[in-house]
Structure 1
Amino acid sequence: MGKQAAKRRVADNEAVATATMLRGSAQKLNLVAASIRGMKVEKAITTLSFNRRRAAIDVKKVLESAVANAENNHNLDVDNLVVAEATVGKALVMKRFRARARGRAAKIVKPFSRLRIVVREVEETV
């Protein structure tokens, strides 16, 4: 009985992976995500491995998850995958305060972000 399966939101030659509660601002995460857009997956993973930013670790995990989804769930060839999209958005913001002089307080903002990576299989041209 049950529900019908939802239609795929991406094409048949694409696979998706998302991370929803990544600690860090969307602006900083987008700097890392922008560096891999349009790259072949193998080169993107190498680039992220040597990137010194803390956000590169999370981006690499999501990219590897997208590659695993493409291989295991959609039977795509890993050697022909390209990072089609790497989008970053804002999630919640934890608000804290810090006691300051003369009874005042200063606001501390601890943002979270979400990341969505789409990998696409492209035909090899010789």
Structure 2
Amino acid sequence: MGKSSAPRRVAENEALAVANMVRISPQKLNLVAGIIRGQKVEKALADLTFSKRRIAKDVKKVLESAVANAENNHGLDVDNLVVAEASVGKALVMKRFRPRARGRTGKILKPFSRIRIVVREVEESE
């Protein structure tokens, strides 16, 4: 008697990929996620490939993972995929201190983020 499988968190024509504990602030990560929201997957991958931002490489990995999940786990057509959702959230914040003048300390916050990308298969309208 094993556990029954959990219901899908997304629709039948969607696939999901998540990255937790990405070492960047959510505000900066959201700038990159905003670039790919609503775009076709091949355009989004091209934009991330040529983006100057450091975190674009990690976002590209998550998007490629979502595409692989769509193809291998859910049998969706890769050519018709669109980035339906790219949401960013807060993870933990490491707190560090730095000695400052006159015996005081300076607080250093090192934030982590999580990103969730959902790709959806759309019918081609020609």
TM-score with structure 2 setting the length: 0.99
CA-based RMSD of the aligned residues comes to 0.4
Q: CA deviation at 1:83?
A: 0.0
Which residue in the other structure is 1:122 paired with?
122
Q: Look up the match of 1:55.
A: 55
What's the CA shift string for 1:38-85, capped at 9, x where partnerless?
A: 000000000000000111111100000000000000000000000000
- 1:7 aligns to what SS in structure 2? coil
The aligned residue for residue 17 of structure 2 is: 17
Q: What is the number of equivalent residue pairs in this alignment?
A: 126
> In percent, how many aligned pairs have the same letter?
76
Secondary structure of the structure 1 residue equivalent to 2:36: coil
Structure 2 residue aligned with 1:7:
7
Which residue number in structure 1 is paired with residue 72 of structure 2? 72
Code of the residue aligned with 1:15 in structure 2: it is A
In the alignment, which residue of structure 2 is the partner of 1:93?
93
Output the CA distance in 1 between the equivalents of 2:109 and 2:68: 34
TM-score when scaled to structure 1? 0.99
Give the Cα–Cα distance (whole angstroms) in 2 for the partners of residues 107 and 117 of structure 1: 32
Aligned residue for 2:43? 43
CA distance in 2, matches of 1:24, 1:43: 24
Distance 1:80 1:125 in 2: 11
Q: SS of 1:71's equivalent? A: helix
For 1:106, what is the secondary structure of its paired residue?
strand
* Unaligned segments of structure 1, at least 5 residues: none
Partner of 2:5, secondary structure, is coil
Query: Residue 84 of structure 1 aligns to a residue in which SS?
Result: strand
For 2:121, the aligned partner's letter is E
Question: Quick one: distance in 2 between partners of 1:35 and 1:114?
Answer: 17
Structure-1 residue corresponding to 2:84: 84
Letter of the structure 2 residue corresponding to residue 62 of structure 1 = V
